[in-house]
Amino acid sequence: MTSSCVHGLNHPWFLASSAPIGHTGGMARSIRVATRAEQLLGCAVVSTAPVVSTAMCTTTKLRLSDGRMAAVKTRTNPPAGFFATEAEGLSWLAQSRCVAVPDVLAVAEDCLILSWIEPGRASAEGATEFGRSLAQLHLSGAPSFGHKAEGFIGLLPMPNRACDTWVEFYAVRRVLPYLKLAVDRGQIDPVDAADVERVVRRITTLVGPEEPPSRLHGDLWNGNVVWDAQGNACLIDPAAYGGHREVDLAMLTLFGLPQVQRVLDAYNETAPLADGWQDRVSLYQLFPLLVHACQFGRSYGSRAGAAAREYL
């Protein structure tokens, strides 16, 4: 199911109160964003509110003349297909009818317009329901390990060309491309890089039992789980593909999630995980840690090396 709600207080999208178009403070930009939204939606914008920008995008909250609230994501000179890929990922998750995501109201090369998630806080009931829903999302499956088109993880290209096995896909589409990029950018120490490579060489003994491809969010860190006004989880900013479900779960625990143990317990009750899954968490955190090293610096490269050494 989709949510008619966008992005909460625990996500950097949400800040600032609405101001009528034309008031001081970012007036020129607000008018440009409002005009573009009106072109795409065919609906007048009554007011805008600036939202804290991230390294990836600037987001503006809109109040529309028909009473709806929306969020416009923009970026100067985005990579080709950047917003279309996000929109497709949201639609792919929504097709499962298992998790709440914002509705895609419009997408263009320069922006993405989504329905607004009224922010709230995680509730115990919401965390339990999120665990069940995430399990159902994964069980809804995917055609292959990979996806029909290349994607993005943050601003980095994300290779999605299908592989026959999960072992091959995780090694050659997820770990090695970002290890190489981190090395090229000087964001990982040579010793740490060598240890990650050693893990990849023996990865067939580490990944656990074979499973069919799951439908993954793909970038399921805390900031991409937004709790709505009813305390329920809505998922945003996917990097969606078919993969191993333990990757999404490892990402959830990497940077902390409210009531994460309730989520994991409900998940495991709904779709029991293979024995030893807790021992594979650091293995599946190698991918996001290397992505973060490429984008945000050497401290994440060090964490990737430490994670790799757990398996050596």
What is the distance between the alpha carbons of residues 43 and 236, in angstroms, rounded to a whole number?
Answer: 24
Helix H or strand E segment including 73: strand 69-74
What is the distance between the alpha carbons of residues 134 and 100, in angstroms, rounded to a whole number?
Answer: 10
Strands 45-51 and 151-153, bridge-based pairing:
unpaired
Catalytic residue among 103, 219, 228, 248: 219
Task: State yes or no: is 219 an active-site residue.
Answer: yes
What is the distance between the alpha carbons of residues 124 and 130, in angstroms, rounded to a whole number?
Answer: 10
**Nearest of 90, 120, 118, 95 to residue 105 by alpha carbon:** 90
Q: Determine the 3-state secondary structure of 253 from DSSP.
A: helix
**Nearest of 3, 26, 31 to residue 15 by alpha carbon:** 26
What is the distance between the alpha carbons of residues 302 and 285, in angstroms, rounded to a whole number?
Answer: 13
Looking up tokens 């900013």, which residue turns up? 237
CB 207 within 8 A of CB 167: yes
Core vs surface per residue 268-301: b (16+ CB within 10 A) or e: eebbebeeebeebbbbbbbbbbbbbbbbeeeebb
User: In a 10 Å sphere around its CB, with 0-12 CB exposed, 13-18 middle and 19+ buried, how is residue 209 labelled?
Assistant: exposed
What is the distance between the alpha carbons of residues 83 and 237, in angstroms, rounded to a whole number?
Answer: 10
CB 181 within 8 A of CB 267: no
How far CA 147 is from CA of 18, 83, 215, 267, in Å, comes to: 38, 16, 10, 24
Q: Kindly list the catalytic residues.
A: 219
